[in-house]
Structure 1
Amino acid sequence: MERFKSRARRLRESQTSAEARLWQALRNRQLARWKFCRQHPVDRYVVDFVTLDGKLIVEVDGVTHSSPSEIERDEARTKVLEACGFFVLRVSNTDVYENIEGVLELIRSSLRFD
């Protein structure tokens, strides 16, 4: 577990500009009062953003996630995270840069209120 915490710390220090932009909109309960964490360990993965109470994971994907092998890897990762009880939402870097309000609305509408 310590290995995952260490990796999460390193990822927080080296976040992408798209992740930094989205984090500015999610931090401090700015989105409908949901508490989000960034670069948080879930099972054997470190996810970009998660709200534990809302059981929602948001992954910000760049162009490297479009190759067949990466798509397959992401699908396997999503299955593991869903088995842990989370809904996984994937958004692209481009969407974060060009349509942050749309991304936030998608996240808001994906949150579970049960």
Structure 2
Amino acid sequence: MTADVEGDYVFVRYDKKIIPLARGLRRNMTPEERHLWYDFLAKYPVRFQRQKVIDRYIADFYCFEAALVVEIDGGQHYCGGSPDYDQRRTECFGKLGVEVMRFTNPEVRRSFNRVCCEIDSRIVRKLAKDIPEPPGFLRELTDS
């Protein structure tokens, strides 16, 4: 794992061989990833990327400005060697200064607004500044 530091920015080298896999994952997102992307992250005022290659791993969603990865875990993340693999990924991201937030598919389906509010809250805290007006449903949640 290597990174170049330039000012306040860390540029991470990545494994170019897995870019085609990341592109395929972008085209074939799970319903929960699609929901989070199209109904929240794609419109969020701080830019997110989906299926972003970082080092030798692919993050579901990545916000460079906040150094934050958002992972949506399906059932496959809880069996076999997946928990160990997820831990190694999280450790790798952590060494690069990138924080990881994890949510399960059921959380995204059943508590979508809460998931969005948690992501928004974490970004606001990490950036320690006001973010332009949030998407409509977040305003509605905070107004009620």
Is the CA contact 1:18–1:96 (under 8 Å) kept in the aligned structure 2?
yes
The answer to whether residue 113 in structure 2 is matched with residue 113 in structure 1 is no
Unpaired stretches in structure 1, ≥5 consecutive residues: none
Would you identify which runs of 4 or more consecutive aligned residues in structure 1 move more than 6 Å? none
Match for residue 5 of structure 1?
A: 19
More helix by share: 1
Higher RCO (CA < 8 A, seq sep 6+):
1
Measure the CA separation in 1 of the matches of 2:116 and 2:80: 28
The answer to whether residue 41 in structure 2 is matched with residue 26 in structure 1 is yes
Q: 1:38 aligns with which of 27, 41, 50?
A: 50
Match for residue 90 of structure 2?
A: 78
Measured after TM superposition, the shift of residue 68 of structure 1 is 5.8
Measured after TM superposition, the shift of residue 67 of structure 1 is 2.2
Across the aligned residues of Structure 1 and Structure 2, the Cα RMSD in angstroms comes to 1.3
Letter in 1 for 2:89: R
Measure the CA separation in 1 of the matches of 2:47 and 2:111: 22
Measure the CA separation in 2 of the matches of 1:104 and 1:89: 11
Measure the CA separation in 1 of the matches of 2:115 and 2:66: 17
Give the TM-score, by structure 2 length: 0.73
Letter in 1 for 2:109: Y
Count of matched residue positions in the alignment of Structure 1 and Structure 2: 111
Unpaired stretches in structure 2, ≥5 consecutive residues: 1-14, 129-144
